[in-house]
Amino acid sequence: MPRSSSTFPRAIAAIAVTAASVAILAACSGPVAIAEKTESAPKAKTSAEIPAPVQEASKADTAPASAALSAPVQAQIDYALTYWQDYNEAEFGVLGDNDCVNFASQTLLARGWVQDDEWFHSDDVYASSASWRSSTSFRDWLETRPDLATALDDSQRDQVSVGDIVQFDWDQSGDRDHTGVVTRVTHEDGGTQVYFAGHTLDSDYRSVDTAITEDHPGGAVYYWHIAS
């Protein structure tokens, strides 16, 4: 039997209803979300990948090492530090309470100086030359021997070296009252500091500044820079 012509209109209507339903559903669900492209966080570096910080060298690291003493000066200082308190009396005797030049002269012998007719030690220490026993006479003799030493005043203390001779005029009367041998020199922000060894007031590293400001306020200090 042939289909009724009314079947087609019903089919078309059904299709229209279905299409409308799909449209309604799409409108309710909203647009399809699109994933937003984001920049991923950088990957953390491992400890092996992180370069070590560069450390600047400190002044102490770059400061030059102190110059070593020459063999003669080292021998002189070794002698001074051996006998500043334990006197070498058996060989050189002791000049009572005024043994400072006797001791300083001994250190110069250890350094290599040679005795002569104007500077010498005697078996009887009191018979030694005046330049061996007296600070003032020692100064007077050195003034005639520029080949051995150069006179410096305290304004030139930055030129003083270990092994040099230091002399004091406690009352600024023009003579020399005490003699020692320089055992340490430091150059600091506040200036040059000088230390010495000596007999009478036995010392190994006595401060020059302490000697002229505390021990003998107003005292004057002088130096002899040894040539070799």
Q: Give the whole-angstrom CA distance, residue 178 versus residue 140.
A: 14
pLDDT at 70 over 80: yes
Produce one character per residue of 65-85: b if its CB has 16 or more CB atoms within 10 Å, e if not.
Answer: eeeeeeebbebbbebbeebbe
For 73-118, how does the pLDDT look when each residue is reduced to its tens digit (9 = 90+)?
Answer: 999 999 999 999 999 999 999 999 999 999 999 999 999 999 999 9
54 located within any domain: no
* Range name among 59-68, 76-85, 177-186, 212-221 with the lowest pLDDT average: 59-68
Task: Work out the pLDDT band at 67, boundaries 50, 70, 90.
Answer: low
Verdict on whether the full-model pTM lies above 0.85 = no
Longest dimension (CA), the chain: 168
61 located within any domain: no
For 2-29, how does the pLDDT look when each residue is reduced to its tens digit (9 = 90+)?
Answer: 444 444 344 333 433 334 333 333 333 3
Residue whose token pair is 């209803």: 17
119 located within any domain: yes
Question: Between 33 and 114, whose confidence is greater?
Answer: 114
What domain range includes position 95? 71-226
Count up the domains in the chain and report the number: 1
User: Average pLDDT of 194-204?
Assistant: 97
For 169-190, how does the pLDDT look when each residue is reduced to its tens digit (9 = 90+)?
Answer: 999 999 999 999 999 999 999 8
66 located within any domain: no
77 located within any domain: yes
Q: What mean pLDDT value characterizes the chain?
A: 79
12 located within any domain: no
192 located within any domain: yes
25 located within any domain: no
pLDDT at 39 over 80: no
Tokens representing residue 199 in the block: 């007999």
